[in-house]
Structure 1
Amino acid sequence: MSDQIQRFMFDQTNVRGEIVTLATAYHEVLTRHAYPPAVNELLGELLAAVALLTDTIKLDGTLSIEVRGQGVLSLLMAESNPGGELRAIARIAEDSHLPSERTSFRELVGEGQIVITLDPREGNRYQGIVALDHETLSGCLEAYFGQSEQLPTRLWLAANGERAGGLLLQRLPDASQNQDTDAWERSVALAETIKTEELLGLEQREVLYRLYHEETVRVFEPKALRFGCTCSRERMANALVTLGADELRDILREQGAIDTQCHFCHTKYHYTAADIEALLENPDAPSPVIH
């Protein structure tokens, strides 16, 4: 299975981990856009990260990570849900030109912040914000966990335009099972030896064996991941309503109808003047389905 996430833990310790590999889902994201190689690699890292965080936080809902920068790359966004569906997008600032050579994360995004949004199916929406104070995406996300979750967490992310992967280690607060006081430092030190080609090119169990063959590692059943977009005609209609009646009617006078497109999957939606008037009269009603 090329697209999956696997949980594991070290027996007799309070250290747990996850490893993720993406190929098809990553390819599905990239084929819908024409981003430069440097952006493709960052999107791969972000896809791996959002999958790891969703499984780590155990959220019954949608988790999104937005990197909002002031550099040539103004936005990176990835989203995941418990069903294993992933999607991602990037936005290049207007009148900006990406360097042709390999460019670092901080050089592309500049100053800014990462916004992590947890949107549960039940309960209140939560947002955590952390500044882009580190040189890598993984470093910024580690800072988020230290600030918001207050759990020591380490991340290793990699992508090459064809495959993406990530490894996460976390020290849990419950030390009652921790009979190995050096487990955290040792597991992190071993993970630091991982090579990009190993994270992207080897089966997950092979990676774990190479890193931790002298440890007692319990590996759980993997979870399948795939590309999936949550856009719908109803959601697009709700977004149109937020523009206001005056602006929508101005567009109709100019164009006769309104066509919109999902930025993630490029699905197109068409709304006639009658559709728009029906939305304005009753915005809570289901949007008419065009057959």
Structure 2
Amino acid sequence: MNFKDRIIRATGKKTPFRLIVVDLTETMNEIGRHHNAKGFALKLLAENSIASIFLSAGLKFAGTVSYTTTFGGEITKIQTDSTPMGLVRAMIPQAELQAIGANEPALVPQHVQVVKLNEQGKRVHESIIEAPSVSVGQNLATYLLQSEQIRSAVGIEAQYNAQDPSFLDYAAGFYIEAFPDLEDKDINLIEVIVQNLPKFCDMYKADKGFDLDELLDQLRGPYDIEVVREIDPKPFCPCSKDRMLATLATLPLKDLQELSSENKDLNVVCDFCRTNYTITPADMQEIIAERNKKI
């Protein structure tokens, strides 16, 4: 049974804070199928993607947030790109996915890197912090405090199905941002609300999916909130053959000539959506010809 994914953004009507809740279950199940991701790897993909969505929701322009977590161990990195309109793509190195299957990998968290791009694809912000935990929510809260001086409460959790680890039962999360003028008494109350929040698994029912409205109601506590926007997230990848050709064109001319000398099709797979593009010998010759014109 399919359920509708949602991103709900809200603010306090009289209290200066921002609240976002996300259900990304079906979006991540689709992305997971493209990667053949299972079990813990699928869980990590989903949780990393929710973190990216929380950051892109704060963009003041139609740009992109790239959120990358790096590890020591059997998985080296997870990267998610998302936009303020809920478009998402994510990747884990394919060879590492195939090696671990549905098993839980040995992981040592290393770094979190956040890159913000504007509408033209130019970097307007980049920050790297040491990842204090395997918990994506804790890492995001640490990044926000260290790099953007934002006080926040973050909860992110994805759970894969016990009988079939190739799909998620749920992938959900919340983000509360304290604006600078939020009073200490309200901060303390919000901390109590978060500490007493029901477990995510208790807000999931197999026949109904994850109850995002219940999560929102629990988090608002005694505060009046205004829902600013509700968005339907979806998988999206802007890759194309032209983009792949443009990437190939950045290789050293010697490498391009070696590839061309083999005189056979070259298959290039997008790391994010796993689309396979065929680069023909004629395509390679055209790239080389253009490069020679610039010499």
TM-score tier after normalising by the smaller chain length: 0.7 to 0.9
Of residues 69, 90, 93, the one that matches 1:91 is: 93
Q: 8 Å contact 2:35–2:94 — kept in the other structure?
A: no
- Change in Cα spacing, 1:96 to 1:222, as seen in structure 2 (3 Å) is closer
Kindly state the Cα deviation for residue 97 of structure 1 after the two structures are TM-superposed: 5.5
**Counterparts of 1:146 and 1:210 in 2: how far apart (Å)?**
24
Of residues 182, 187, 191, the one that matches 1:184 is: 187
Deviations 1:80-105 (A, max 9, x none): 123321011112776996497656xx
- Change in Cα spacing, 1:29 to 1:99, as seen in structure 2 (3 Å) is closer
Superposition pairs for residues 145-160 of structure 1, below 5 Å?
A: 145-160=144-159
**Counterparts of 2:132 and 2:38 in 1: how far apart (Å)?**
24
Of residues 190, 194, 201, the one that matches 2:198 is: 194
Listed as ranges, the gaps of 5+ residues in structure 2 are 161-167
- Change in Cα spacing, 1:131 to 1:225, as seen in structure 2 (3 Å) is same
**Counterparts of 1:220 and 1:152 in 2: how far apart (Å)?**
21
**Counterparts of 1:79 and 1:228 in 2: how far apart (Å)?**
9
Q: 8 Å contact 1:8–1:16 — kept in the other structure?
A: yes
**Counterparts of 2:276 and 2:238 in 1: how far apart (Å)?**
13
Kindly state the Cα deviation for residue 257 of structure 1 after the two structures are TM-superposed: 2.6
**Counterparts of 2:27 and 2:119 in 1: how far apart (Å)?**
24
Q: 8 Å contact 1:258–1:272 — kept in the other structure?
A: yes
> Any idea what SS the aligned residue of 2:193 has?
helix
**Counterparts of 1:219 and 1:69 in 2: how far apart (Å)?**
36
> Any idea what SS the aligned residue of 1:243 has?
coil
**Counterparts of 2:78 and 2:96 in 1: how far apart (Å)?**
15
Deviations 1:148-194 (A, max 9, x none): 11010121001113221110011112x2xx5x541122123212323
Query: What letter is aligned with 1:3?
Result: D
**Counterparts of 1:31 and 1:93 in 2: how far apart (Å)?**
15
- Change in Cα spacing, 1:69 to 1:248, as seen in structure 2 (3 Å) is same
1:46 aligns with 2:45: no
- Change in Cα spacing, 1:94 to 1:166, as seen in structure 2 (3 Å) is closer
Q: 8 Å contact 1:63–1:81 — kept in the other structure?
A: yes
1:56 aligns with 2:55: no
**Counterparts of 1:198 and 1:281 in 2: how far apart (Å)?**
61
Aligned position for 1:121: 119
Q: What TM-score, normalized to structure 1?
A: 0.85
Q: More deviation in 59-68 or 162-171?
A: 59-68
Q: 8 Å contact 1:169–1:188 — kept in the other structure?
A: no
Percent identity of the aligned residues? 23
Q: Aligned residues, how many?
A: 276
Q: More deviation in 200-209 or 6-15?
A: 200-209
Kindly state the Cα deviation for residue 268 of structure 1 after the two structures are TM-superposed: 1.5
Aligned position for 2:240: 232
Listed as ranges, the gaps of 5+ residues in structure 1 are 284-291
> Any idea what SS the aligned residue of 2:76 has?
strand
**Counterparts of 1:41 and 1:74 in 2: how far apart (Å)?**
15
Deviations 1:64-117 (A, max 9, x none): 1111222111011111123321011112776996497656xxx52x14211111
Aligned position for 1:288: none
